[in-house]
A and B are shown apart, each in its own frame.
Chain A
Amino acid sequence: MKKILVVVIVLVMALSFVACGKSGALKVAIDDTYPPMEYVNEDGELVGFDIDMAKALGKEMGVEIEFVSTGWDGIFAGLSVDQYDCIISSVSMTTDRLATMEFTTPYLANGQVIMVVPGDASIATMADLAGKNVGVQFQTTADAAADKALEEVSFEKIAFDDMTTCLTAMKAGQLDCIVADMAVAIDAVSNDPDKFVVSSVALTNEPIAIAVNKGNTKLVEDFNKALAALLANGTLTEISVKHLGADYVSNIDTELR
């Protein structure tokens, strides 16, 4: 009996080691609470702009894509210790981030916008935020932009761990407005046009790119080649129209503001 047990245990261990080795897939980290870029739909499926694009990149590059679901607040730490190969999760290019990680060429135009309740015309610039309850996602560029604005204007900044809770809080009336990525605002407005409306032009310019650990320049080059190919053959434009309603992938303004 004991001998059989030992044999079974050894077999299980051996099999699991083999299974470990087989995975040559490209590990892509995502924070899947971020519609329309990456989120879980009503049927429990992982969908979104970044998901479709990552799969298209995988086909173009001839690698299998494995998505790793990570909370946003640990996502960069995980990259720096190679828990995954890259992050394709609406990562904005900022000068700070350029210092600590590598970016591919940007694949989506983006900037911070302010979303308000329809009919509220009082908020259009950072200065109008005075005295309001402003929602942001914790530790995002919107959070940083709000912190900067707090130096000049006084308002209540409420930072949520994930975007979906932030959106629900505004629907519940806990927030007067949300500062978020343009893509998120577009999607929220199209899903609930009676609850959200975009009230200002882009306050910052932060195009979105794929983040890779410092030193992994080969992967960046491979990605750039594949991204260029997808843009040329119209795949990226198709994905953009599908999830965002228009083409935000051509002629991206790459100046960081």
Chain B
Amino acid sequence: MNINFNQVLLFAKGALTTIELTLISMIIGTFLGLIIALGRISKRKIIDKVTWVYVWIFRGTPLLLQIMIVYLAIPLLTKEIFGSAIIMSRFTSACIALVLNTAAYLAEIFRAGILSIDKGQFEASKALGMTSRQTMIHVIIPQTYRRVLPPYANEFIMILKDTSLVSSIGLAELYRASEKLSSSTGKWEYLFIAAGIYLLLTSVATRIFSKLEKRYSVYI
């Protein structure tokens, strides 16, 4: 089977989009997830309840559905209710859905990490006169890195593969590239090539997280 340059380009562009979507959703999702995690731990009941509902909805519905809702249902709904539709491009819609979804899962991961820190740490910080915020930022959260890295790496790898779902709104990412080539030529080899590229990407990510884990377990 000959692969020509155009096909390589198609796969490369697709892989680039996949990486872009993954990085955007993980980076923004991390910030949002952390905020929500802190909200879940908050002593103020209302913040706890609101963040609980958020996590419940975005973990409880399929990512594919979320993507469709942002891309299609939101414009239709806002048009009906407000008269003018809120329309977002495919890439923006995909990013929004991915970020919201990732943040929900990461919030629970971070929350578990924070809750697993010994209560004594909180008490000692209080005794030293640190505010809640100082405690979190300087004492607690740094200690959660080691515990949070394995599930975080897990989520990263999952999202990297879940980006294939954005093909349903016509975004040209890696899976789409293989779909296009294999269905127009009838050759199944392209599917395996895409699988190989996904494997390469996830392996690189796994390696990086492995190194990070080693670094953070220095004090064990």
Contacts and interface: CB of A to CB of B under 8 A. Distances in A.
A249 B46 CA distance: 65
The range of chain A's interface size is: 20 to 34
A83 interface: no
Interface string B44-79: 000000000000000000000000100111011001
Given A160-B170, A161-B168, A165-B168, A172 B186 contact: no
B183 A73 contact: yes
A74 interface: yes
Interface of A: 73-74, 76-77, 80, 100, 135, 138-139, 158-161, 165, 168-169, 171-174
Nearest to B87: A173
A138 B170 CA distance: 8
Interface of B: 68, 71-73, 75-76, 79, 85, 87, 90, 167-170, 179-180, 182-184, 186, 188
B90 A158 contact: yes
B64 to A, nearest CB: 11
Contacts of B169: 158, 160, 165, 169
B42 to A, nearest CB: 37
B183 A76 contact: yes
A74 B183 contact: yes
Nearest to A135: B170
17 contacts: A73-B179, A73-B183, A74-B183, A76-B183, A100-B186, A138-B180, A139-B184, A158-B90, A158-B169, A160-B168, A168-B72, A169-B71, A172-B87, A173-B75, A173-B79, A173-B85, A174-B72
Contacts of B180: 138-139
A194 to B, nearest CB: 13
- Which of A74, A100, A161 is the most central at the interface, judged by chain B CB atoms within 10 Å of its CB? A161
Contact of A139 (B72, B168, B183): B183
A174 B87 contact: yes
Contacts of B186: 76-77, 80, 100
Contacts of A161: 167-168
A161 B183 CA distance: 12
